[in-house]
Chain A
């Protein structure tokens, strides 16, 4: 094999693997409910604005009380969500899970800390990215915002029903 042929082959292989990696990222992103309605072209545009970050085991992604700026999607590894005020782990998240999405709409303080449980790679999607998307590519931006609104409405509805159920329980236990 000549050097030129070798170069060509290596280019083909690297291109093949790049496409494979791209496919993996797109599959991962589409598994996130907020992005599930985006097509391949939209996902490519989205991937360009996402921030890829690497965290060592035990490293804080964000701390409880910090202003929220956006959400993270786990590409690889595990993240522990910890309530510092109650000194306990609330949940453990894995590849494909996401957290902090409420911060895309407001910069209220984070209500828990996120800590990398092992060496972890995350994709970050933040308020400035969402606003930029709405400004320069509103077609994708609106899809994301609508999906976010739907998720939040569902959660609100669920919370409302849970509240009603608890009130009912309270009523039945009240002494007459």
Chain B
């Protein structure tokens, strides 16, 4: 039977969800800073905890870990960005040189010759792809023009992340302090479980994406595919989106390699490599990194991506599923917490 408390809790949860959705929609950038700083803090918290365990004061441990992480990231970017830049540049040159148009015209002719019985005539693929590429470059230019905003965003995110690392526990304690006695133990239990599950989930998906990125880069390099690093980076990023990400990455790899080599011979090899990497991910990497309980239904994923794309464009599509995963972790922990404390049945 529903008591007043239960109705109140359900109403509060609904209000909270509506408020969160409204906030994300209206002040997306600030929410972005909060989420990214939390993500950063979640990833490197174990290192800070380890230093603290070794007797280092929390503030010093947070500072050292923070600075070392930034340095490591800087070194990685410094070492790998010339490679990525040269590969992007070579791809851009190929597009500019009309290699793409030539290759696609050949593909069109091939399809027209062999699929005439299906009514395939004028496909105009190259014109369509050029339109898409134009839109993509426009988006990149828009991002570049907002570089000042990006710098402010990054600085604010880093400052927030540092304070979350240093004072995360104090902040959590202060939050718990304001919870009324009636819900205190329940709130504490739920917050602790969310903290644990969310940390595990976020570290899991990032580690999985990193492993897949490295494996793909190495595989493409060994197979002699040009722009192997670019393909690896695309595979790593796309891996954040389950189901749809890996095929998209494989398609991008096929297109990039076709533009670079101007032949279809490497396509089956790339597809076999991506299938094997997928099998490796599904059977070994994911079970070791990502909790199975956070898996989302394919239908949920499709709608999540559509909503993310509608609200925030390409970035929205990319981050929609991890954000949905985070929401699932939070809501399922709240629900099981409420059930444990018999607030809902």
Contacts and interface: CB of A to CB of B under 8 A. Distances in A.
Given A132-B169, A135-B53, A65 B342 contact: yes
Contacts of A55: 181
A28 B188 CA distance: 24
Interface of A: 49, 51, 53, 55, 59-62, 65-67, 69-70, 107, 124, 126-128, 132, 135-138
A60 B185 contact: no
A59 B341 contact: no
Interface of B: 49, 52-53, 58, 169, 173, 176-177, 181-182, 184-185, 188-189, 192, 340-342
A77 to B, nearest CB: 13
Given A51-B173, A51-B177, A66-B341, A136 B53 contact: yes
A49 B177 CA distance: 12
Contacts of B342: 65-66
Contacts of A128: 188-189, 192
B181 A53 contact: yes
B181 A136 contact: no
Given A65-B342, A67-B189, A69-B189, A59 B49 contact: no
21 contacts: A49-B173, A51-B173, A51-B176, A59-B181, A60-B181, A62-B185, A66-B341, A66-B342, A67-B189, A67-B340, A69-B188, A69-B189, A107-B189, A107-B340, A127-B192, A135-B53, A136-B49, A136-B52, A136-B53, A136-B58, A137-B52
Contacts of B49: 135-136
Contacts of B176: 51
Contacts of A61: 181
Nearest to B53: A136
Nearest to B184: A53
A135 B196 CA distance: 13
Secondary structure of the B contact surface, majority rule: helix
A127 B196 CA distance: 13
A62 B49 CA distance: 31
Contact of B53 (A59, A124, A127, A138): A138
B188 A126 contact: yes
A137 B58 CA distance: 11
B188 A137 contact: no
Contacts of A136: 49, 52-53, 58
Q: Give 8 closest A-B pairs by Cβ, nearest first.
A: A128-B192, A136-B52, A69-B185, A67-B340, A136-B49, A69-B189, A135-B49, A136-B53
Contacts of B52: 136-137
A124 B187 CA distance: 14
Which of A53, A65, A128, A135 neighbours the largest number of chain B CB atoms within 10 Å of its CB? Answer: A128
B185 A66 contact: yes
Contact of A137 (B53, B173, B189, B341): B53
Contacts of A70: 185
B311 to A, nearest CB: 35
Nearest to B340: A67
Contacts of A67: 189, 340-341
B182 A60 contact: yes
Nearest to B191: A128
Nearest to B195: A128
Contacts of A66: 185, 341-342
B180 to A, nearest CB: 10
Nearest to A56: B181
Given A61-B181, A137-B53, 14 more contacts: A49-B173, A51-B173, A51-B177, A55-B181, A60-B181, A60-B182, A67-B189, A67-B341, A69-B185, A70-B185, A128-B189, A132-B169, A136-B49, A136-B53
B249 to A, nearest CB: 37
A157 to B, nearest CB: 30
